[in-house]
Structure 1
Amino acid sequence: MEEHRHVTIYDIAERLNLATSTISRALKDHHSISDKTIKKVKQTAKEMGFVPNTLAAGLRGNKSRTIGILIPTITQPFLSSLISGIEITAQKSDYTVIIMQSHDSYEMEVDLAKSLYSNRVSGVICSLAMETKDTSHFHQFSNNNIPLVFVDRVPRDYDTFRVVINNYLAGYKATKHLIEQGCKRIAHLTAGSEFGTLYNERKRGYMDALAEHDLAIEDDLIVVLKHMTYEEGVKACNQLFDLKTPPDGLFAPGDILAVSAVQTAKKRGVKVPEELAVIGFNDDPISEIIEPNISTITHPAEKMGKAAAELIIKNLKSVKEEDAKEITFLNTQVVVRESSKRI
């Protein structure tokens, strides 16, 4: 069986008995080529099944018109919605995207950042891995004027673009809601990442809400997770239910963790919300599928993706380098459902 070969501009040039430079210019509607020739070249290219190699053309110009997306995983609904927002905006400006998953591994994130750089991406949008504390592997982009935007999980100290929500206020709102439902001993699941700000800010909001309502902040009610997974959530909730005085409320920083809390409570004979009121985070589809439906905090993922892509594209189009700035979305809302509704 004959191997399929892509049609090139050399094939079109041979068919029409024209120079390859003429073919190349005609395909780009160059002013030096007559309308008649442009029409003939394009018609022949179409008939022969010619597809421009945009990657090769980009590499020749040292620009691939590709935006690299480096995220922990594509399986989380929040991150898949984020990708959707990036893609919608990128496609409108004729950019493609490369998606890479770190699986929350620092080593993998370092390797993937190198890979994106060697692929000559035009810009990078990243949500940090849970294990990441050192971000020096991103200097290769900043030092070479490749726009870099951190989204959601952002480093504390890195002078570049950021797109975030007000995680402190979101954590405060979630905890205040549980207090308003009559909870007195509110547990919180958090992450052990000393570098990122996201989970620390949600925890700070949780602690301030308790303090403002004269409720004690108890170390045994705050459980640090290695990974934001269902399995880790189950372990943490069993640990909380084993306490001499278990919690009567729980703020989980992700809906999958809230699901683990509700299902573990059922297995342990703990009634939700009567004995344990639960609120999650992100407003993932699963929060409305499980029984009882889970209260949550909205997280404008697609808008954040669009904003991140717009920052990249704006920076690439600008003659002068744009000043790094933070875009903060304050419009997170408490969505009250059955898992926390007592009053």
Structure 2
Amino acid sequence: MFEPVTIKDIAKALGLSTSTVSRALRDTYEISSATKKLVTDYAKQIGYKPNPIALSLKERRSKSIGVVVSEVANSYFSQAIDGIESIAYDKGYHVIISQTHESYEREVINVNHLASRGVDGLLVSLSSQTSDISHLKSLHEKGLPIVFFDRVADEIVTDKVIADNEKGAYNATSHLIASGYKKIAHLTSSSHLSISIERLSGYKKALSDHNIELNEAYIKYCPHGGMIYEETETAIKELLALKDKPDAIFVAGDRLSTGCLSVFKNLSVKVPDDMAIAGFSNSDVLDLFNPSLTSVRQPAYEIGQQATEMLLRLIEAKYPVEEFEKKVLDTNLFIR
């Protein structure tokens, strides 16, 4: 007579409680990774197979995932969320969206609230103010599945999906150079953000490849990523006040690009006569702007889809996942 191995047998053999074994096998975040490994290794070794009927009763999943973005109205994020929902709803998961408005404090509150509501995992794009990620680290160490997209944290070992920011920035800057501009400024978000670092690197590489000397005075940071009009306006005014003022500007963000056009309009800066502009933007509204701007478009919808697929793989894995990847998707340059 075949007697299947039960959770009780594993608990007895390892000297653990049945609830600990059960939680370790379900990969919940209350159990330490060391205990999980001990239990799963032993379960594999003795050929433990969960009872599907008992499993469905025990599966205390909320079937929901939390999404943390800076702003839903940002065209990049709204497209990414469409991508996230297209996969999640298809697989029977609810999506709970929260906005940080580029505030670190708000990000901490949102992340902790989502975790306390028992979401099965988190999709996170960091706020421009976030440099300390201990709020995410502690949840990740407890086993809550987290996948980063767009603005990622290198210190946390998990799956990540980004656009090829460096190449996108390189192409946009090279386009301005090819159009005859030599004094190209760079307007970007906070300096520690992964996207800022990658886009700055692409900008610098394009200048260097075309033998144009880098002018540090041409690089301006907006710590709130364009959420505060005055911040963008101050940066542009400082560029215009330079003795050797720039003749073009490469802008490293969606919010910043549209903000930049508003500032130009209010300061009566004519594009491209007074200043040419190229930026990162997924906004379809750009075609209505006159003059418009050449933009680097990211595959936001696909980034959302891939990040969600990665997160669901982590959530539904029977055993702890040890292999992670960072996917880098291509950008397109829309010349207007």
| Range class of TM-score, shorter chain | 0.7 to 0.9
Residues 190-209 of structure 1 aligned to structure 2 (within 5 Å) = 190-194=188-192, 196-209=193-206
Residue 202 of structure 2 corresponds to residue 171 of structure 1: no
| Aligned-partner SS, 2:186 | strand
CA drift at 1:61:
3.9
On the 8 A contact 1:190/1:199 being kept in 2, the answer is yes
Matches within 5 A, 1:207-286: 207-229=204-226, 231=229, 232-286=231-285
Which whole-Å CA distance do the structure 2 matches of 1:150 and 1:59 have between them? 31
CA deviation profile, 1:88-133 (whole Å, cap 9, x unmatched) = 1000000001111112111221122111111111110000011111
* 8 A contact 1:174–1:297 mirrored in 2: yes
Q: Residues 138, 298 of structure 1: CA spacing in aligned structure 2 closer, same or farther, 3 A cutoff?
A: same
Conserved in 2, the CA contact under 8 Å of 1:132 and 1:193?
no
Note closer, same or farther for the CA distance 1:262–1:129 as it changes in structure 2 (3 Å cut).
closer
Structure 1 equivalent of residue 141 of structure 2: 143
Distance in 2, Cα, partners of 1:181 & 1:81:
30
1:325 partner amino acid: E
Superposed CA offset, 1:158-191 (max 9, x none): 2111010111111111111100000010000122
CA distance in 2, matches of 1:159, 1:228: 26
Aligned 1:148-159 pairs, distance under 5 A: 148-159=146-157
In the TM superposition, what is the alpha-carbon distance from 1:270 to its structure 2 partner? Answer: 3.7
Q: 1:107 aligns with which of 105, 108, 115?
A: 105
Residue 266 of structure 1, CA deviation: 4.3
Name the Cα RMSD after superposition.
Answer: 1.9
Amino acid at match of 1:66: S
Q: For structure 1, which runs of at least 5 residues remain unmatched after alignment?
A: 1-57, 338-343
- Contact persistence 1:85–1:303 (CA under 8 A): yes
Pairs within 5 Å for 1:1-343: 61-194=59-192, 196-229=193-226, 231=229, 232-322=231-321, 323-329=323-329, 331-337=330-336
In 2: Cα distance, 1:193 partner to 1:214 partner:
24
Counterpart-to-counterpart distance in 2, 1:100 and 1:61: 26
CA distance in 1 between counterparts of 2:306 and 2:69 reads 16
Residue 320 of structure 1: how far off its partner (Å): 2.4
2:324 counterpart letter in structure 1 = A
The answer as to whether partners of 1:131 and 1:193 remain within 8 angstroms in 2 is no
Instruction: Give the superposition deviation at 1:84.
Output: 1.0
TM-score normalised by structure 2 residue count: 0.78
Residues 183-235 of structure 1 show CA distances to partners (whole Å, capped at 9, x for unaligned) of: 010000122342x3111110011011111111111111111112122612222
Distance 1:59 1:145 in 2: 21
Q: Secondary structure at the match of 2:259?
A: helix
Q: What is the TM-score of this pair, normalised by structure 1?
A: 0.77
Does the aligned pair in 1 maintain the 2:257–2:281 contact within 8 Å? no
Question: Which structure carries more relative contact order (alpha carbon 8 Å, separation 6+)?
Answer: 2
- Partner AA of 1:234 in structure 2: E
Q: Percent identity between the aligned chains?
A: 32
